[in-house]
Every structure is written in C-alpha cells, then in structure tokens.
Amino acid sequence: MTKKLYFDDVMQTKFTAEVTKTLRDERGFGVILSETLFYPTSGGQAHDTGVIADSQVLDVVIQDDGHIIHYLDKEISPGSYPAKINWARRFENMQHHTAQHILSAAFWQEFALETISSHISYETPSTIDFDVDKLSPEQISRAEEIANAIVFENHTVKTYFVNDKNAVPFRRPPKVDGEIRVIEIEGFDYSACGGTHTPQTGMVGLLKIVKSERINQKTRIHFVAGWQALRFLRGIQSAAQETAGLLAVGIAEMPESVARLQEQHKEVERELKTLRQMQLDAEAERIAQFAEPIGEKWLVTKVFENRDVGELRNLALRLRQYPLMVALLGSYDGKKLSFITVCAENTELNASELLKDHLAPYGGRGGGDASVAQGGCTTDDIEALFQHTKEMVRNS
Ligand SMILES: [Zn+2]
C-alpha cells in the first residue's frame, strides 16, 4: 500500500520519489513508489500530473490493494528521484473539490437535497447531481449565496481519521466501517472523503453555478470556482463586450436591443416574402404571355439554370391558374434536370402521367397527382424532351 503524502500536507508540491517497483501493462510504463504526493483518479476527482526525475507523469491509478501506479512517458529504474506535482492543476482541483463539499452541504441544509454523485474538473465546470426532477432559479441562487458566504467567512477545513462512523455527524453517513477520513468544514459540514481540499474555505475563491440541466430523473448543476471562475467570467465579459460593440449599446441594454432586432428581422422577412410572391406573380404572367398555342391548349416549356426547385414549383402552380395551361418547368445544374409539370383543370391531362412518360426513357424518378408532379433525371437533350411534351399535348 502506497503512503499518501497528500493526506499529511495538501500544500506540499515536491518530494523524493522512491521507486520500489516498475511495470508495463496496457496503459504503458508504470512505477510504484513507497510514498507519493500524486493524487490518483478517485472519488470524482481527476489525478495529478507532474514529473518524476525527467519523466512526465501522465496518469495516476489506485489499485484495490492500495498501491498507486504512476504511468510515465519515459522509463526509469528503481531508485530515488526528485519529484514534483503540477501545482496549478492540483490547486484548481482542490478549489473545486472543496467547492463541491460546500455546495452539496448548502443544498442539503437549505432544501434537504442529497448529492448522489459529483465530478471535479479544473478544466471544465464541475458537476453535482441531485435526486430531484427540477431546481428552481430561486433555489440555485439561495444555495449559491450560502456557499459563497461560507467561502468569504474563511472557515478552516480540517482533515482527520475516525474509527467509529457515529463519532461525527456526517451529512451522508459512509457505508464502510473501519478507519474513515473526515473532511470537516468548521461550523458547517462533515463529510467522509479521500480527496484533496483547500485548508481554508477562502482559498476556493468565487463560487458560481453556471448551468442546471435535467438528466434522466435527476438534476445536474455545473459550477466553477477560483481560477476557473475568473477564466469563465473573462470569457463571458469578452463575448458580452464584443456583442455590445456590434449592437452599439451598453451590455445592460443588449437584451432589449436584440429583441428589437429580432422584431425588425421578422418584419423584413414578411416584406421579403410578399415581394417574392409579387415577383413570382409577375414572372408567371410574363411567361404565360409567351405560351405556345397547341390546339385549344397553351403550353409552356422552360428550363432555368440552378433554380431552387421549391421556387420553381411555386412558379408552376401560378401558371396552372391560367385556363387550358400545361407547363413543364425545369432546372438544370449541368448534370441533372429537375422538373415540375402542371396541368390546369380543364386540359384533361394528368401531370403525374405526363411526368412519368417523360422520365421513363431517362430512368428518372418522381411523382405527384393530376394537377402537379415533380421529378428528375439526367439528360443533356432537353430539346428532345420538350419536343416530346409538345407531341403529347398535341395528341391529347
Ligand atoms: Zn472531498
């Protein structure tokens, strides 16, 4: 069993690593030390990184027998080496781990909500899960206020061992018997925990809940503390300032300004839609004037380059309003011809059958009903296709 030096002094960063054993497994090359400052991934807290001699510690894992394996990027032999943990990473994990105890205790004391799991991260917001469907914004604000008050009052965080789990009033009594490590936030909370915590609550720094979400039947809160809270606020401030600059208003006026822009945008879209419809009406009228008379019917065949098929359909439906009109409108993208056929009611022609008849020689696909049909095929002889249309209309 490896002796955990981080239990004795959580602020210590350097030590002499006595490598007693080396090994190689699927995770890579690992060393076991007689004692270590490197915290292994456990209890929702990520492992430490750092160096042993000039090898980087990439991962730290605790085994069931209590041995802690340090996985390195470069092999070293048994012996004594100077070792150092990555303090910036560890300290931020300590800030978030202590913040988690404080927040969990705040939700418990104020709302009797028990923490069912947690995840501590120095990089992304840490999380706490509660066995409840929903948390109200008021509950979140209240817990945040209690937690920050505990930080600002700078309570001492004590760690010690007890052999009897009834010896201290645990917030969540441990399930195991025997020696239990207690984290006591003086005058506020008792927890059983093997993680690393700041010696004073003041070292946690500002504590902010940044998100709450429902996951299955539970509610997860995301929070930041200390240095990560500073980075988070800088990110928000810079995004807010940039947005305010684009809107040419102050940060506080942003919501009103965006709401006004959205309203204007909707108005412009409504106008644009009306204009587009008027434009299509005019285009249909122009095309209809040049329709070719075939017997009693009128025929329009027209192909456009890369025209939106939805728009083409709207144009075709307008042409269908003209008595005795048959129209075949296409859009050609250089390879594929998409087209729409429409037949006015009194033509006694069926748009779907007309389409199928056109597609058959080219192996194209499509469908519709008697009044309008839509399809596509690959052809480079559009003239032949239109000639065929003419014959069909003539013979109908
Ligand atoms: Zn803890």
pLDDT in tens, 139-151: 999 999 999 999 9
> What CATH number should be reported for the domain whose range is 288-395?
3.10.310.40
11 CA to centre of ligand 1 in angstroms: 15
Closest CA to 191 of 210, 174, 211, 208: 174
194 CA to centre of ligand 1 in angstroms: 6
191 CA to centre of ligand 1 in angstroms: 7
Task: Judge whether 190 and 184 are in contact, CB under 8 Å.
Answer: yes
What pLDDT does residue 353 have?
A: 87
DSSP letter at 39 equals P
DSSP letter at 97 equals H
pLDDT over 80 (residue 396): no
* pLDDT bracket for residue 43 (50, 70, 90): confident
160 CA to centre of ligand 1 in angstroms: 12
pLDDT over 90 (residue 48): yes
Give me the DSSP letters along 215-280: ETTEEEEEEEEHHHHHHHHHHHHHHHHHHHHHHTS-GGGHHHHHHHHHHHHHHHHHHHHHHHHHHH
133 CA to centre of ligand 1 in angstroms: 25
For the chain, helix (H) and strand (E) counts, in that order, are: 8, 21
Strand partners, 185: 157, 189
Task: Judge whether 352 and 366 are in contact, CB under 8 Å.
Answer: no
* pLDDT bracket for residue 82 (50, 70, 90): very high
Which CATH superfamily includes the segment(s) 91-238? Threonyl-trna Synthetase; Chain A, domain 2 (3.30.980.10)
Tokens 């008050």 found at: 149
- H-helix or E-strand containing 284? helix 254-289
171 CA to centre of ligand 1 in angstroms: 12
What pTM does this model have?
A: 0.76
| Maximum pairwise Cα distance, the chain | 105
Reduce the DSSP state of residue 365 to 3 states and report it.
strand
201 CA to centre of ligand 1 in angstroms: 13
- Please indicate whether residue 364 or residue 325 has the higher confidence score (pLDDT): 325
Reduce the DSSP state of residue 7 to 3 states and report it.
helix
- Domain ranges in the chain? 3-85, 91-238, 288-395
Burial 273-303 (b: 16+ CB within 10 A, else e): eeeeeeeeeeebeebbeebeebeebbbbbbb
DSSP letter at 204 equals G
**pLDDT (tens digit per residue) in 230-249:** 999 999 999 999 999 999 99
For residue 281, give both structure tokens: 């009406």
77 CA to centre of ligand 1 in angstroms: 34
156 CA to centre of ligand 1 in angstroms: 14
165 CA to centre of ligand 1 in angstroms: 16
198 CA to centre of ligand 1 in angstroms: 10
Task: Judge whether 324 and 393 are in contact, CB under 8 Å.
Answer: no
**pLDDT (tens digit per residue) in 329-387:** 999 888 888 889 999 988 888 888 888 888 877 778 888 998 999 988 887 677 877 88
Task: Judge whether 191 and 101 are in contact, CB under 8 Å.
Answer: yes
Which CATH number does the domain 3-85 belong to among 2.40.30.130, 2.40.50.100, 2.60.40.10, 3.40.50.300?
2.40.30.130
101 CA to centre of ligand 1 in angstroms: 6
For residue 213, give both structure tokens: 């979400």
